[in-house]
Structure 1
Amino acid sequence: MQNNDWPTADPAVMGMDAEKLSKLDPKIKSEYSNINGIVVVRNGYIAYERYYHGYGPKDTHHVASVTKSIMSALIGIAIDTGYIEHVDQKVLDFSPEYIPHSADKQKRDITIRHLLTMTAPYPFEDWHEPLDKMCMQPDWTAYTLGMLGQGGTIGTFKYSTAGAHLLSAIITRSTGKSAREFANERLFKPIGVKEIPHYGMQSFGFDDLFGKNVKGWVNDPDGNSTGGWGLTLTPRDMARFGYLYLNHGTWNNQQIIPKSWIDESTAMNANNYGYLWWLREEEGVFSYSALGDGGNVICCVPEKDLVVVIASEFIINALDRWKLIKECIVLSVKD
């Protein structure tokens, strides 16, 4: 795989049913109108690529929670390069200035693994995280550490974007670089993703953090890159990242992420959630996906040698992408 433009190939040559693929475009236009771009990579070649609403291959999109799966890769790289000891290192090791209450025993036991697998306790109800509250704080890390370990027990699945942000702070504390800088150097540059620029945050309102002002990679008031959202990528950038995982962490014969980390990150479990990756086993076909609000997706289907990337405009209650991916793309692969 070269770092310049990706080779494209006719779907039929790649063992894909062109007729099934031809249903994608009308279906997207009629049922998934907020999709801005789609890239399908099979056997390392781009077999299908379309853009909508005036977007093209060089345009970036805010990928929302897809950012979390990038964060997972950065933690794996930081462990491999010795910045972080191991996945079971305690979260509080990285914030020695934070002194928990003596009764706060649970907080002391929470590890990086708990943050990666969304099995740390928080006081909010499941799927009702008050993210806006964190965003109003002068110190997001201290605020999240305050919540951490409160309510519930370690080991129960509870999805938390603030928890992913703690991982970003851990990257910065251990490497001395923001997640954006660390990613540019250790992940993006080696796989041919254009450098993510720094944009100074003018303010921390909705549009700056989530909306039309999001550029590069959003950061908190302390300069930590947002761990759970806020990264902008092109669909081809997303595909490169997915292909890196499909290829067991190697790119041009260079090991960027340890294979063992990718295996651990995507090992099936009862929560259907790995290290910040969503896992799915359906009709004997296993896939793992980075999923972001509004329908941003990097879906890897190892046994079909397939990466499907969808970049979308944020809308509330966007239609789930899996049906589209399964019926028009996964089932188009001839065994």
Structure 2
Amino acid sequence: MLNPFPEAVSMKSSLQAKIDEVVAQHFPTLLNLLIVRQGSLVVERSYHEGNATASTNVKSITKSIISTLVGIALHEGYLTSLDQRLEEFFPQSFPTSGDQRKREINLRHLLTLSSGLQWDERAPTSLPSLYASADYVAHGLSLPLQHTPGEVFAYSTLDAHLLSAVLTRATGMDMLAFANQYLFGPLGSTITTWTSDPQGNRIGGSEIALTSRDLAKIGYLYLKRGKWGERQIFAEDYHAAATQTQITPGLGGYDAATYGYLWWVNTVGPYHTYYALGYGGQIICVLPDLDIIIVTTAPTNVPPEQGAGPQVFALPRQLTERIVLPLLM
């Protein structure tokens, strides 16, 4: 099944006008808005210079793609367990002296952004220092251990990138090629742009370019618990774990969300939801109880207070409350 949902069904002009009015009033920066309901693409609207079929850097949605690729690697036998330790893949990068708790970091810790490595995503030096280094993995593993692995959530592009490097080592494949073969190819898509580090590892926490329709397909794959047509892309038990609370951030500004395996987890009223969230307002929001997927893209050339502030984390809830529930249910 290459296309799980048909072209956007015809909307009444009155409904279209209401949606456009809500977007203009409450979500003025959105470029694209797609909503899939019961397998049909019921809303596909573009604003400003938006284009649902054009690829764009979806920023930290890349983290949720990495989670998906971990699930696939487990399903295909490239990985044996989430308890595999990072040291197994990069033994030369672990110091023989110093804090030996680093050796306890495993794949589950990376998926829950709880490696314990000293990292502050919003600090002005964290990402620039990583991106300026000659070896991202070595740089990351040279950082002090601030917490025992698995105990404390710290939002971290580094942790997600270490997973990308693990996948590259475990599969022996470039992650762009792996993603096209095992994920996007079966979904009827092909990706061509995903930035690499100096060693050729694709950036695990950002920098993949996808279309809004690609994002909707990822949401639909998760809505179907990892199944695409008759093909199980990744295991149902991985889907269940990835989209349920594994760790609680314990910080403000996340709209009370918890964290699964590189997916945010929350509720809107009585409805369970989980979502991938990228800087500026890139979103895949899945509402399984309602059989709904919401996708948005938005500009990324915005200051941090606009691109990663509380208002961005509130978007899945607000889109559900202002558009889905009053206009589509």
TM-score, normalization: structure 2? 0.88
> Unpaired segments of 5 or more residues in structure 2?
249-257
Give yes or no for contact 1:127–1:158 (8 Å, CA) kept in 2: no
CA drift at 1:5: 7.5
* Partner in structure 1 of residue 109 of structure 2: 114
Is 1:283 aligned to 2:269, yes or no?
Answer: yes
Where in structure 2 are the equivalents of 1:30-109 lying within 5 Å? 30-109=25-104
Give the aligned CA root-mean-square deviation in angstroms.
2.1
* Partner in structure 2 of residue 224 of structure 1: 201
Please tell me the residue identity of whatever aligns with 2:43.
Y
**4+ runs of 1 displaced by more than 6 Å?**
18-21
Change in Cα spacing, 1:266 to 1:113, as seen in structure 2 (3 Å) is same
Match of 1:175 among 168, 171, 179: 171
CA drift at 1:179: 1.5
Matches of 1:92 and 1:270 in 2, distance apart?
23
Is 1:29 aligned to 2:21, yes or no?
Answer: no
Matches of 2:241 and 2:16 in 1, distance apart?
32
CA drift at 1:260: 1.0
CA drift at 1:22: 4.4
Give yes or no for contact 2:268–2:320 (8 Å, CA) kept in 1: no
CA drift at 1:258: 1.1
Where 2:81 maps in the other structure, the secondary structure is coil
Give yes or no for contact 1:124–1:130 (8 Å, CA) kept in 2: yes
* Partner in structure 1 of residue 260 of structure 2: 274
Change in Cα spacing, 1:64 to 1:330, as seen in structure 2 (3 Å) is farther
Match of 1:292 among 278, 283, 304: 278
Percent same amino acid at aligned positions? 34
Change in Cα spacing, 1:126 to 1:51, as seen in structure 2 (3 Å) is closer
CA drift at 1:174: 0.6
Matches of 2:273 and 2:291 in 1, distance apart?
11
- The number of residue pairs the alignment matches comes to 309
Change in Cα spacing, 1:331 to 1:276, as seen in structure 2 (3 Å) is farther
Matches of 1:218 and 1:160 in 2, distance apart?
17
Give yes or no for contact 2:120–2:155 (8 Å, CA) kept in 1: no
* Per-residue Cα deviation, 1:278-325 (whole angstroms, up to 9, x for no partner): 000232111000000000000000000000000111123144323133
Where 1:226 maps in the other structure, the secondary structure is coil
CA drift at 1:331: 4.1
Matches of 2:61 and 2:121 in 1, distance apart?
20
* Partner in structure 1 of residue 158 of structure 2: 162
Change in Cα spacing, 1:331 to 1:146, as seen in structure 2 (3 Å) is farther
Please tell me the residue identity of whatever aligns with 2:283.
V
Question: RCO (CA 8 Å, sep 6+): is it higher in 1 or 2?
Answer: 1
Give yes or no for contact 2:112–2:246 (8 Å, CA) kept in 1: no
